[in-house]
Amino acid sequence: MMTMMANYVDEKKLEKSSMQWVPVISGSTEVSMLIYSLDIITKIGKNLPILFLSLASLNVLLAANDFLANNIEFGILNSLFAANGFIFLVQTHQSNRVQPLTSNYSETDYGSFLEIKE
């Protein structure tokens, strides 16, 4: 088992020594790591509704099993988790249908605001 230890150095000694423990990562490596992590996040985000649907359905099954086994407390808890999962799915599905707010006014209706009158 490896443990990481932090060595604290006095500020006066730090100013005198020019060697510091800094990982060497180039700018292109940082950009490629960022792109890779964003790619993973978008793949997870695309499958998030399926994940929530499966977890909510699993909680329904667990709640039914708990109620049949006369374990009322965990049955109620799993029912609440399932209800919250389904509510979240409905809310995300509705937010995808909302149209962005656009201005219905055109320049021909009210004229340009930047008219110069002489």
Separation of alpha carbons 69 and 72, rounded Å:
8
For 8-22, what is the mean pLDDT? 55
38 pLDDT exceeds 80?
yes
Is 79 inside a domain boundary? yes
Residue 1 — pLDDT band, cuts 50, 70, 90? very low
Is 91 inside a domain boundary? yes
Is 112 inside a domain boundary? no
- Give the domain range for residue 80: 59-95
Q: Tell me if 61 sits within 8 A of 79, measured CB to CB.
A: no
* Count of domains forming the chain: 1
Is 51 inside a domain boundary? no
Is 83 inside a domain boundary? yes
pTM given for the model? 0.52
